[in-house]
Every structure is written in structure tokens, then in C-alpha cells.
């Protein structure tokens, strides 16, 4: 059983990239190198792998750490608003603009701007972003002159941008400007060794958030966690522990406290069986990669990575 965590052992305020796996050790070294540069960064990885946490880590390790860190979710805004959110607008620039707004780029001046879910950015906004990436100049909606702003751009996406470029859904020139320093995050199922550190950290966070005690996790739950596929990655781990903790009434987390969908799903395949299961899923899906990924509880990005790993082609 993973032992209980002291009730007031709150997680550190600084974003922690926990894990002893070879992948995490390599990632931290890579980020420390990139942080010292001025390079634009593109972070890719499945949903829930911690892309915003990595962006914050880069900012705090960089010479810009005393300046603002600002995040913008490109998928959460309608196309009509994203340019105003990025570049700002003058008072009266459009209906409802009762006062001027500086925009996220100005708010992050001297610091770091995270463009989360960049793969969902509207084409018109991509064109405006390209100009900024090339010139460092912004032109607010309704403004009379351009303004130069020094800000580091970090973009993140769970989508396969190479594929979206091929499909004409993402501009190739913007992709090349963003893809200077590339950081690829592995899914949790490919770095299970990190769970030994992640689980106590998440428990401490849940205790602090809800002011409750969690008596560790049972051996049965630990074994399930180590074999479970974690399609939602670290975010899912957090949600599962939080849900179970609210049921456990201060004791250790047992199997009956876990959400039903977790215990009902098949554990992750053993590494030796993974290729066979991938081939079978593709055959059952008649070659449809989206359907095969769904059957295996993988994202499309993970599926493509496995296809490459086992040289099954695309």
C-alpha cells in the first residue's frame, strides 16, 4: 500500500515535473536547456499530459521568470474574438468595445505567452499570429499604429499538427515558425514508473483542496493503477483519486471507492501483446485509425506513435 500523506502536506507552489522514469529525466534536462534560450516552443502531447505545467516550468526556469506568464486557450474562443484577445482592441473598435483592452500579448510583455490548443486556432488568427512571429509587432483592432512587444511564445496542442498541415487545416508557415524547439510529452501509460511519485503528490493536493484525510491506497488499487491505460493521463489520475477520496471517508482508497468506468476497463496490454492488439484493433476497425484508437482507449497521437514504433506504417 502507498502510505498516507500528512494532511497538510500541500504540493509546492512551483510547478513540479515529477517522475523518475527515463522519459521524465530526459524531459527535465531538455526543458532546462530550452528555458535559457529565446526560442519559440511547441509542446505536443495527448490530452491531460501536463502541457500547461511544462509551459509554466519553462517560464520559471527562464530569464523571464519575474515577468508575467499568460495563457490563452485558442479552442475556447470563437473566431470573432480571438484576434481581439490576442492583440487587444481600441475603445469603440466594434460594437460592445466600451473600453480599450490590451490583449494577451501585451499582458505577457517581457514574459511568456502560452497559446494552448494552437491546433484549433482560426485561419484568420493564424495569419495575424504569423505577422507577429515574424516582426514582433502587433496591431490592435481599431488601433492607428503598430507596436513592438517582446514576449516568448509557447504553443501547445494535443493534435497532430503535421497531419493538420497536410489536410490544409493549419498554415505551414505558422507551423514552421512555432516548431523551433519541439517538446513531446509521452502519455502516462508509457511512463508508469512516475506513478510512485505522482500518486502521493495528487493525494496531497486533494487533501489540501477538500481539507480531508486520505489514508493512502490499498495494494489492490496500486496494482490496478500500475496496469490501467490512463487514457486521460495525469489529469485522469487526479480526477480518479479525487473521486475515490470523497468516497473513502478518511481511510485508504479501496477498489470499491474507484469510479466504475476505471474498474470496468481492461488493464493496459502487456508490452509483448501490444503490437498484436494494435494489429487486431486496426483489422476490426477495417483500417479506420480513429475507430482503432477509440477501441484501444488511445488518442490518435498515441496510435500514430505506436504505428511508427512497430513499423506498421500509416
pLDDT at 13: 43
Domains 22-185 and 192-264 share a fold: no
The answer as to CATH 1.10.8.60 being correct for domain 192-264 is yes
Q: If we measure between CA atoms, which residue out of 145, 136, 117 comes closest to residue 43?
A: 117
pLDDT in tens, 128-139: 899 999 999 987
Rounded mean pLDDT, 134-156: 86
Q: Give the lowest-confidence range in 5-9, 160-164, 183-187, 309-313.
A: 5-9
C-alpha cell at 51: 502541457
pLDDT in tens, 227-257: 899 999 999 999 999 999 999 988 899 999 9
pLDDT in tens, 260-275: 999 887 655 555 477 8
pLDDT in tens, 14-62: 446 899 899 999 999 999 999 999 999 999 999 999 999 999 999 999 9
- Residue ranges per structural domain of the chain: 22-185, 192-264, 271-309
Rounded mean pLDDT, 214-230: 91
Contacts of 234 (CB under 8 A, 6+ apart): 48, 49, 50, 188, 198
Rounded mean pLDDT, 78-95: 74
Please provide the CATH number assigned to the domain covering 22-185. 3.40.50.300
C-alpha cell at 269: 496490454
Rounded mean pLDDT, 99-122: 92
Q: How far apart are CA 222 and CA 271, in angstroms?
A: 19
Rounded mean pLDDT, 292-301: 82
CB under 8 A, 24+ apart: contacts of 132-135? 132/87, 132/105, 133/40, 133/174, 133/177, 133/178, 134/177
pLDDT at 91: 64
Q: Give the lowest-confidence range in 37-51, 57-71, 86-100, 290-304.
A: 86-100
pLDDT above 80 for 197: yes
Amino acid at each position: 500500500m502507498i502510505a498516507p500523506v500528512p494532511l497538510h502536506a500541500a504540493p509546492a507552489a512551483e510547478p513540479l515535473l515529477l517522475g523518475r522514469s527515463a522519459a521524465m529525466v530526459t524531459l527535465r534536462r531538455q526543458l532546462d536547456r530550452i528555458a535559457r534560450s529565446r526560442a519559440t516552443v511547441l509542446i505536443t502531447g495527448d490530452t491531460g499530459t501536463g502541457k500547461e505545467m511544462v509551459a509554466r516550468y519553462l517560464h520559471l526556469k527562464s530569464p523571464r521568470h519575474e515577468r508575467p506568464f499568460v495563457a490563452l486557450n485558442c479552442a475556447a474562443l470563437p473566431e470573432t474574438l480571438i484576434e481581439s484577445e490576442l492583440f487587444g482592441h481600441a475603445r469603440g473598435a466594434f460594437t460592445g468595445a466600451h473600453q480599450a483592452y490590451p490583449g494577451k500579448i501585451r499582458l505577457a510583455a517581457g514574459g511568456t505567452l502560452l497559446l494552448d490548443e494552437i491546433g484549433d486556432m482560426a485561419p484568420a488568427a493564424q495569419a495575424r499570429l504569423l505577422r507577429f512571429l515574424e516582426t514582433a509587432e502587433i496591431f490592435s483592432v481599431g488601433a492607428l499604429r503598430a507596436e513592438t512587444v517582446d514576449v516568448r511564445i509557447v504553443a501547445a496542442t494535443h493534435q497532430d499538427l503535421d497531419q493538420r498541415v497536410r489536410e490544409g487545416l493549419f498554415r505551414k508557415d505558422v507551423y514552421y515558425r512555432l516548431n523551433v524547439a519541439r517538446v513531446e510529452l509521452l502519455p502516462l501509460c508509457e511512463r508508469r514508473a512516475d506513478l510512485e511519485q505522482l500518486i502521493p503528490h495528487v493525494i496531497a493536493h486533494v487533501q489540501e483542496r477538500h481539507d480531508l484525510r486520505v489514508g493512502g491506497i490499498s495494494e489492490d488499487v496500486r496494482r490496478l493503477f500500475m496496469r490501467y491505460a490512463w487514457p486521460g493521463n495525469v489529469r485522469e489520475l487526479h480526477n480518479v483519486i479525487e473521486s475515490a477520496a470523497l468516497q473513502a471517508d478518511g481511510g485508504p482508497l479501496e477498489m470499491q471507492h474507484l469510479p466504475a468506468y476505471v474498474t470496468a476497463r481492461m488493464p493496459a496490454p502487456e508490452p509483448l501483446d501490444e503490437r498484436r492488439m494494435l494489429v487486431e484493433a486496426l483489422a476490426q476497425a477495417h483500417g479506420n485509425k480513429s475507430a482503432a484508437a477509440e477501441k484501444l482507449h488511445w488518442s490518435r497521437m498515441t496510435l500514430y506513435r505506436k504505428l511508427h514504433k512497430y513499423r506498421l506504417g500509416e
